[in-house]
Structure 1
Amino acid sequence: MNTERLRSPLADLSAADVSVWLDDLSRELLAGGALEALITSRHVVGVTTNPTIFASALSKGDRYDEQLRALAQAGTELDNAVCAITTTVVRAGCEVLRPVHDRTDGVDGKVSIEIDPRLARDTDATVYQAHALWNEVGQPNLMVRIPATVEGLPAITAAIARGISVNVTLIFALDRYRQVVNAFATGLEQAWRAGRDLSDIHSVASFFVSRVDTEVDRRLDAIGGEEAIALKGRAAVANARLAHQIHEGFVAGSRWQRLAADGAHPQRPLWASTGVKTRPIRTPCTSGNSSHPEP
């Protein structure tokens, strides 16, 4: 038997100490043990979701109908109804991932829920909702997704300082990633001064990959010429490598070493948007197609 054919890329990633996250969560996935099966057979150790994913789930099947009818009969306002539905599903997801969380001392087994995107430019409202979602779900393996907007940076610090685990999302540029790292570290420092246990606080920085190529490739097409075309499909991975260098440089520095000595966990890079968004570039030295699983 050819064992090479049986090897799973996700198994290889897991063996290399890479945490595999699923960018999906719904009642359909929770029903019948489908999520548990992905944990055991596909090495999934984390789940993230967003309003678009929930909107898609609500449009399919009838698993939300009973709760929707109850909320409608109670006269629940739309925003509150959305919050009730999403937090219920995320709480259930947290319960499924809880054994992974406990087995890894909280490093894995996380489930993310996103702040209302309409609050991306409102620091105070983002902090308020982060705290509300954290309390409503009430699970230690929850992460609240906060966008890396200018207004989101102080919200990241404030949430971390309150002991809320944060998934920082929508990071594209290296300079903004440096600001995210600083916001995370500042939040931990504030949490330490407030007497919080830093070992209970976790964070990931979701650095978007293929969407960078989508934009850069569009600009390369506008430039035209052989040299520009030869660079297509390369910017995203190069950007991610430089981001990882920033991460490694920070965890090797004295500021992080002080926090680590007090029990802090590093903010791990999360490679988001890893699916190929454009057609592959075919050249004489490449063949076939390649794809990467979404996290």
Structure 2
Amino acid sequence: MTALGDLAQAGVSVWLDDLSRTRLRTGGLRRLVDTRDVVGVTTNPTIFDQAISTGDAYAAQLDELARSGADATAAVRALTTTDVGEACDQLRDVFEATDGRDGRVSIEVDPFLAHDATATLAQARELWAEIDRPNLMIKIPATEEGLAAIADATALGISVNVTLIFDVPRYRQVVDAWLTGLQRAQAAGRPLTAIQSVASFFVSRVDVEVNRRLERLAVPDDAGLRNTAALANARVAYQAFTDSLATDRWRALAAAGAQPQRPLWASTGVKDPLLPDTTYVTGLVAPDTVNTMPERTLEAVWEHGEVGAERIPDQMDTARATLDRLATAGIDFTDVALVLEREGVTKFTDAWRHLLDTVTQALEARA
């Protein structure tokens, strides 16, 4: 048994935060499923930018798209949906073995739509119909505008991966939007058992931003606050998750077949070299959670990760005390979350813009 197996035994689903045509066509994804306990895949614009910008795995499809006269936007859509559809097919056996809980592959709506609920919902519906796999998830950002799209998509029976969550108050709004969508789906007669969702709570970026603020506030390192915010923040979010399962609203939906919206720990690659490279995995162990990891982090956990006996509920008092100490030191978590949300949207739009430029050049060269 490896640490990855220990995570699975503890109720943590291990997902891979990466996808590429090369990984799909060479059996790399199946290898991770068979040897690293991987049971799901997440993608984002940065991942696709890196995949399509390097190597020649996409050359044949780009040739076809150039001959057909496709523009860059249509070409990117075709390239990414092809990859996600193939990944869904390769994970279909996991999906069936887990009764739809895992075996999931996520694709994100255009990040330029992050503040347009109507356009986000429209594209979510298009991607859901185009890829047409039961184990697909559509990623919708947890912006204020995205909350309405999350509820609307869920009401239509679309499985949603809510992304870019950075603090507990916004997470509670996400849970409310998801429950609202389930209630509307139930009223429309849709089977709730088929609707799955995860809420992607970003981790390492929180430490990066808080560490920066601690430096500006001249809080000394020996205060013991550096690199403590992210885990504490995520652990308190898990308490909000368990609290939501204790409500009458959830119990009524669960009785009708609804499945919990599991917290998903995202951005789990360590940014600070002073931290152990498995920090954001082995520090967030609890039932009914997902941890999506870049391959480098996945391999680090497999090679030398250690999953101790403590689970998130055991660490809750310490987490709350840590957040209190950070607030006393001058850390405004509401502002931290707003800054990180804006940065997150910008990073994804920049990656998407770069991807469009890369594909434009490739199409022009072939034309």
User: Quick check: TM above 0.5?
Assistant: yes
Alignment partners' CA distance in 1, 2:187 and 2:168: 29
Alignment partners' CA distance in 2, 1:188 and 1:223: 44
Change in CA separation of 1:131 and 1:69 when aligned onto 2, cut-off 3 Å: same
Task: Spell out, residue by residue over 1:241-276, the C-alpha distance to the aligned partner (whole angstroms, 9 max, x if none).
Answer: 110000000011111000000000010000001111
Task: Spell out, residue by residue over 1:77-115, the C-alpha distance to the aligned partner (whole angstroms, 9 max, x if none).
Answer: 211111111101100000001000000100010000001
Q: Give the CA RMSD over aligned residues.
A: 1.3
Alignment partners' CA distance in 1, 2:113 and 2:186: 28
Alignment partners' CA distance in 2, 1:31 and 1:15: 30
Change in CA separation of 1:77 and 1:227 when aligned onto 2, cut-off 3 Å: closer
Considering fraction of residues, name the structure with more helix.
2
* Corresponding residue SS for 1:133: helix
Alignment partners' CA distance in 2, 1:75 and 1:269: 42
Is there any run of 5+ residues in structure 1 with no aligned partner, and where? 1-6, 282-288
* Corresponding residue SS for 2:272: coil
* Corresponding residue SS for 2:23: helix
Give the structure 2 partner of residue 105 of structure 1: 99
Alignment partners' CA distance in 2, 1:185 and 1:69: 44
* Corresponding residue SS for 1:151: helix
| Structure 2 counterpart of 1:152, from 122, 146, 149 | 146
How far has the Cα of 1:229 moved from its partner?
Answer: 4.6
Identity of aligned residues (%): 56
Instruction: Return the letter of the residue paired with 1:85.
Output: L
How far has the Cα of 1:280 moved from its partner?
Answer: 1.8
Give the structure 2 partner of residue 125 of structure 1: 119
Q: Is the 8 A contact 1:221 1:228 kept in 2?
A: no
* Corresponding residue SS for 2:133: coil
* Corresponding residue SS for 2:26: helix
Give the structure 1 partner of residue 63 of structure 2: 69
| Structure 2 counterpart of 1:200, from 194, 201, 204 | 194
Change in CA separation of 1:228 and 1:169 when aligned onto 2, cut-off 3 Å: farther
Alignment partners' CA distance in 2, 1:194 and 1:153: 20
The count of corresponding residues between Structure 1 and Structure 2 is 282
Q: How does 1:47-66 map to 2 (within 5 A)?
A: 47-66=41-60
Q: Which has the higher contact order (CA 8 A, sep 6+)?
A: 2
* Corresponding residue SS for 1:160: helix
Alignment partners' CA distance in 2, 1:275 and 1:89: 23
Provide TM-score, normalisation by structure 2.
Answer: 0.75
Instruction: Return the letter of the residue paired with 2:81.
Output: T
* Corresponding residue SS for 2:121: helix
How far has the Cα of 1:228 moved from its partner?
Answer: 7.3
Residue 285 of structure 2 is aligned to residue 291 of structure 1: no
Alignment partners' CA distance in 1, 2:125 and 2:234: 30
How far has the Cα of 1:230 moved from its partner?
Answer: 1.8
Residue 174 of structure 2 is aligned to residue 187 of structure 1: no
Residue 28 of structure 2 is aligned to residue 41 of structure 1: no
How far has the Cα of 1:32 moved from its partner?
Answer: 2.4
How far has the Cα of 1:34 moved from its partner?
Answer: 1.2
Give the structure 1 partner of residue 246 of structure 2: 252
Alignment partners' CA distance in 2, 1:243 and 1:233: 17
How far has the Cα of 1:120 moved from its partner?
Answer: 0.2
Q: Is the 8 A contact 1:46 1:109 kept in 2?
A: yes
Residue 18 of structure 2 is aligned to residue 24 of structure 1: yes
Change in CA separation of 1:123 and 1:225 when aligned onto 2, cut-off 3 Å: closer
Alignment partners' CA distance in 1, 2:20 and 2:270: 24
Is there any run of 5+ residues in structure 2 with no aligned partner, and where? 282-291, 294-367
Task: Spell out, residue by residue over 1:52-80, the C-alpha distance to the aligned partner (whole angstroms, 9 max, x if none).
Answer: 11111112221101111111111112111
How far has the Cα of 1:19 moved from its partner?
Answer: 0.1
Q: Is the 8 A contact 1:220 1:229 kept in 2?
A: no
Q: Which runs of 4+ in 1 moved over 4 A?
A: none
Alignment partners' CA distance in 1, 2:14 and 2:131: 23
Instruction: Return the letter of the residue paired with 1:178.
Output: R
Give the structure 1 partner of residue 267 of structure 2: 273
